[in-house]
Structure 1
Amino acid sequence: MNKMKRPCWHDGLLAGIMTALPIGASLLVVTNLLVMTGMPFSGSYTASFVTAILGTLLMGRCHLAVAAAPGLALASWLVYVLVLARGVSWQMVLFMGAAASLVSMLLLAGGRRWPQVCQYAQELIPFCLRQALGGAVGLMLIALGLFEGRLLMGAPTGLLQLGSFSAPMAYFSFTGILVLLGLLAMKKRWAPAAAFLVTAVLAFIGGFWVLPDAPFLQPEGLDRTGLQLIFMTGWQTISPSCYIDLSLFLLLFLLLSGFGSLTALAPTAPKRKSLLLLSLVSFIGCLLGTVPVMAAPESAAGQAVGSRLPQRMAYWTAAGLALLLVAEPVMASLASFAAVMVPVLVGAGLVLLQRMEAVFQGDFAEQAAAGLLFLLLPLTQDIAAGLGASVVAYACLKHLSGRGEDVSRPLRVLAVFFALYFFFGFWSMI
Structure 2
Amino acid sequence: MSNNSHAQTGFLERTFKLSENKTNVKTEIIAGITTFMTMGYILAVNPNILSAANMDQGGVFTATALSAIIATLIMAFYANYPFVLAPGMGLNAFFAFTVCGVMGHSWEFALTAVFLEGIIFILMSFVNAREAIVNAIPMNLKNAVSVGIGLFIAFIGFQGAGIIVGDDATLVKLGSLTEPAAIVAILGIIITGILLYKKVRGAILIGILISTVIGLPLGVTPIPDNLVSLPPSLSKVAFKLNFSEIFTLDMLVVMFTFLFVDVFDTIGTLVGVASKADMLDEKGTLPRVKPALFADAVGTTVGALLGTSTVTTYVESASGVAEGGRTGLTALTSAILFALALFLAPIFGIIPTAATAPALVIVGLFMMSPIMKIDLDDFTEAIPAFLTIIMMPIAYSIAEGIVFGMVSYAVLKLLTGRGKEVSPVVYILSILFVLKYIFL
| Structure 1 residue 176 corresponds to structure 2 residue 192 | no
| Structure 1 residue 258 corresponds to structure 2 residue 262 | yes
CA distance 1:181–1:141, shift in 2 (3 Å): same
> Is 1:105–1:276's contact at 8 Å kept on the other side of the alignment?
yes
> Is 1:22–1:344's contact at 8 Å kept on the other side of the alignment?
no
Identity %: 21
Q: Deviations over 1:183-226 (max 9, x none)?
A: 55566676545544543443345453244122233235446765
Q: Deviations over 1:216-264 (max 9, x none)?
A: 33235446765566xx7x95xx6xxx73545534542342131233255
Q: 2:151 matched to which residue of 1?
A: 139
Q: 1:302: Cα distance to partner?
A: 6.3
Which stretch shifts more, 265-274 or 155-164?
265-274
> Is 2:60–2:308's contact at 8 Å kept on the other side of the alignment?
no
CA distance 1:101–1:405, shift in 2 (3 Å): closer
Letter in 2 for 1:216: V
Q: 1:340 matched to which residue of 2?
A: 355
Equivalent-residue separation in structure 2 for 1:211 and 1:302 (angstroms): 32
Letter in 2 for 1:163: G
Q: Which runs of 5+ in 2 are unaligned?
A: 1-25, 275-285
Equivalent-residue separation in structure 1 for 2:271 and 2:427 (angstroms): 20
Q: 1:47: Cα distance to partner?
A: 3.5
Q: 1:119 matched to which residue of 2?
A: 131
Structure 1 residue aligned with 2:225, among 192, 213, 225? 213
Structure 2 residue aligned with 1:74, among 92, 95, 105? 95
| Structure 1 residue 331 corresponds to structure 2 residue 364 | no
Letter in 2 for 1:333: I
**In structure 1, the residue corresponding to 2:173 is in which secondary structure?**
strand
Which stretch shifts more, 15-24 or 154-163?
15-24
**In structure 2, the residue corresponding to 1:420 is in which secondary structure?**
helix
**In structure 2, the residue corresponding to 1:344 is in which secondary structure?**
helix
Q: 1:139: Cα distance to partner?
A: 2.9
Alignment of 1:24-423 (within 5 A): 24-31=44-51, 33-35=53-55, 45-59=61-75, 62=79, 63=81, 65=83, 67-69=85-87, 71-72=91-92, 73-76=94-97, 79=100, 90=108, 98=115, 101-106=118-123, 108-109=125-126, 114-115=127-128, 117-119=129-131, 121-184=133-196, 191-192=203-204, 195-219=207-231, 221-222=233-234, 235=244, 243-263=247-267, 265-268=269-272, 276-288=294-306, 290-295=307-312, 299-300=314-315, 303=318, 309=325, 314-315=331-332, 317-334=334-351, 337-354=352-369, 356-379=371-394, 383=398, 385-407=400-422, 411-417=423-429, 419-420=431-432
Q: 1:3 matched to which residue of 2?
A: none
Equivalent-residue separation in structure 2 for 1:421 and 1:325 (angstroms): 41
Q: Deviations over 1:35-64 (max 9, x none)?
A: 4xxxx7665553443223323444556436
CA distance 1:307–1:325, shift in 2 (3 Å): same
CA distance 1:377–1:46, shift in 2 (3 Å): same
Letter in 2 for 1:30: L
Equivalent-residue separation in structure 1 for 2:28 and 2:98 (angstroms): 41
Letter in 2 for 1:401: T
Q: Which runs of 5+ in 1 are unaligned?
A: 1-5
**In structure 1, the residue corresponding to 2:229 is in which secondary structure?**
coil
TM-score normalised by L of structure 2: 0.71
CA distance 1:108–1:389, shift in 2 (3 Å): farther
Equivalent-residue separation in structure 2 for 1:143 and 1:95 (angstroms): 27
Q: 1:167: Cα distance to partner?
A: 0.4
Aligned length: 394
CA distance 1:178–1:308, shift in 2 (3 Å): same
Equivalent-residue separation in structure 2 for 1:224 and 1:183 (angstroms): 37
Letter in 2 for 1:243: F
Equivalent-residue separation in structure 2 for 1:89 and 1:189 (angstroms): 34
TM-score normalised by L of structure 1: 0.73
Structure 1 residue aligned with 2:40, among 20, 26, 30? 20
> Is 2:58–2:349's contact at 8 Å kept on the other side of the alignment?
no
> Is 1:149–1:339's contact at 8 Å kept on the other side of the alignment?
yes
Equivalent-residue separation in structure 1 for 2:169 and 2:58 (angstroms): 41
Pairwise CA RMSD of aligned residues? 4.1
